């Protein structure tokens, strides 16, 4: 679908509106709803349905860098279908799910699509990308490019020298406990999260650095958790500075190519050319599931662990209290007290991982609003039903038939 959309966009730009009337009804409907402004948080549902499958092709957005896949694809074998005590179609309809892939023991036990999307397409990740970015910190630590998580952030991002980030460690950036003031209100056009990507870069700096270095401190570093997409963008700049490589290239080198992803992915770039590392990886739902399986397998590719041996044990458990019973925040992963954890993005993106059950659930979608407490609760309840189905299968040796 995305290749088709890119091709049509190119033809329309070259040939004019006459091409529009040669398209079928569904194709015309998609194109009719493509957004013409950059403010993703305030697009309509119809605009998002059209755009989320082609973010890296929209003329109104910045360019993207390719995350190259390798020459060999690692198969996702089909497993025995898992009987889940839920109406899957009704769940997907309510969640406005574009794609869902569930793996148990590395095998596909359920794969469904909606919103006119399919396995050949790519959907944007939003903040699921944060967990990919965090994993690249682990890789850089393993490679020696980052010496210690207790190093100061400004040791690597020198543009931050003299700012509130002089007092912040890499670990505190990962756990979003910097104590630097930030507003992540997705409904407020004047919030930091709505404004920072449109800021003007200063003196050749990355645009994120130029914005973040102006922010004041509101609490001592390490004492207060506040969710901050801008800080994940700083993490991406830090990894690129430490490794000397663009983040997309480093992710390709460490994971995407050697793991055997099906497709090249892309990472949207900010106005100064760095990946928007708190957001915006475009990949297939199957490849998001592969990434989840890679994490469930301990960060091992080709028999080699690409992160320090204790990395995932630290990254995927509660490092910061978020004020929700049974929940926490690790190194850019949302954690549950039962040992499971998740990457989550606005509008319904997610990778849920339960290592004890060898379970991975990758979902893409388009919720009516960026955050939706009802749909989030329903998704959590669905995760629990899948866990129960796995437990039934494990206890009976069957596919977990629903009671």
Q: Which residues, listed in sequence order, are joined to residue 169 by a DSSP beta bridge?
A: 152
pLDDT at 17 over 70: no
pLDDT at 49 over 70: yes
In a domain, 21, yes or no: yes
In a domain, 122, yes or no: no
Q: What is the pTM of this model?
A: 0.91
Instruction: Answer positive or negative: Cα dihedral of 118, 124, 128, 133.
Output: positive
Output the pLDDT for position 26. 53
What is the domain extent for residue 32?
2-62
DSSP letter string over 100-161?
EEEEETTEEEEEEE-TT--TTS-EE-TTHHHHHHHHHHHHHHHHTSS--TTSBGGGT-GGGT
Report yes or no: 12 and 31 within 8 Å, Cβ to Cβ.
Answer: yes
In a domain, 24, yes or no: yes
Q: How confident is the model over 264-270, as a mean pLDDT? A: 96
Output the pLDDT for position 18. 39
In a domain, 239, yes or no: no
Q: Which residue has the tokens 């015309």?
A: 28
Report yes or no: 299 and 138 within 8 Å, Cβ to Cβ.
Answer: yes
Q: Which is nearest to 249 in space by CA: 234, 264, 227, 270?
A: 264
The 10s digit of each residue's pLDDT in 163-203 is: 999 999 999 999 999 999 999 998 888 899 888 867 888 88
pLDDT at 250 over 90: yes
In a domain, 39, yes or no: yes
Q: Which residue has the tokens 């860098």?
A: 65
Q: How confident is the model over 26-35, as a mean pLDDT? A: 63
Residue of higher predicted confidence among 67 and 10: 67
In a domain, 19, yes or no: yes
In a domain, 53, yes or no: yes
Output the pLDDT for position 34. 83
Output the pLDDT for position 133. 98
Output the pLDDT for position 30. 60
pLDDT at 31 over 90: no
Report yes or no: 106 and 358 within 8 Å, Cβ to Cβ.
Answer: yes
Band of residue 249 on the pLDDT scale cut at 50, 70, 90 = very high
Q: Which is nearest to 360 in space by CA: 387, 320, 400, 379?
A: 387
In a domain, 252, yes or no: no
How many domains is the chain built from?
1
Residue 171 has which token pair?
Answer: 């670990």
Output the pLDDT for position 81. 96
In percent, the amount of the chain with pLDDT more than 70 equals 90
Report yes or no: 141 and 149 within 8 Å, Cβ to Cβ.
Answer: yes
């Amino acid at each position: 679908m995305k290749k088709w959309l890119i091709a049509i966009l190119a033809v329309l730009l070259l040939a004019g509106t006459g091409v529009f009337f040669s398209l079928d009804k569904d194709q015309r409907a998609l194109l009719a709803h493509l957004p013409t402004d950059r403010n993703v948080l305030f697009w309509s549902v119809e605009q998002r349905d059209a755009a989320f499958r082609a973010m890296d092709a929209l003329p109104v957005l910045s360019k993207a860098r390719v995350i190259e896949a390798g020459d060999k694809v690692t198969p996702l074998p089909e497993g025995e279908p898992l009987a889940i005590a839920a109406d899957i179609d009704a769940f997907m309809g309510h969640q406005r799910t574009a794609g869902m892939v569930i793996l148990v023991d590395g095998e596909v036990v359920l794969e469904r699509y909606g919103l006119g999307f399919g396995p050949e397409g790519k959907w944007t990740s939003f903040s699921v990308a944060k967990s990919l970015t965090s994993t690249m910190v682990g890789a850089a630590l393993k490679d020696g490019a980052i010496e210690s998580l207790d190093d100061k952030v400004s040791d690597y991002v020198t543009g931050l020298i003299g700012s509130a980030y002089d007092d912040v460690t890499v670990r505190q950036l990962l756990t979003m406990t910097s104590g630097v003031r930030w507003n992540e209100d997705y409904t407020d056009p004047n919030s930091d999260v709505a404004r920072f990507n449109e800021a003007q870069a200063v003196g050749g700096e990355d645009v994120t650095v130029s914005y973040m270095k102006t922010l004041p401190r509101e609490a001592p570093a390490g004492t207060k958790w506040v969710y901050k997409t801008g800080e994940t963008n700083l993490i991406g700049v830090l990894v690129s500075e430490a490794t000397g490589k663009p983040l997309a290239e480093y992710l390709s080198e460490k994971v995407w190519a050697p793991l055997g992803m099906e497709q090249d992915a892309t990472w949207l770039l900010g106005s100064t050319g760095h990946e928007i590392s708190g957001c915006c990886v475009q990949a297939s739902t199957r490849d998001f599931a592969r990434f989840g399986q890679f994490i469930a397998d301990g960060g091992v590719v080709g028999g080699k662990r690409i992160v320090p041996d204790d990395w995932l044990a630290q990254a995927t458990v509660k490092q910061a209290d978020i004020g929700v019973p049974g929940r926490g925040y690790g190194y850019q992963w949302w954690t549950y007290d039962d040992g499971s954890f998740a990457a989550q993005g606005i509008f319904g993106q997610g990778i849920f991982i339960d290592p004890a059950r060898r379970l991975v659930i990758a979902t893409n979608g388009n919720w009516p609003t960026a955050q939706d407490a009802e749909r989030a609760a329903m998704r959590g309840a669905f995760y629990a039903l899948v866990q129960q189905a796995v437990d039934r299968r494990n206890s009976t040796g069957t596919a977990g038939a629903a009671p």
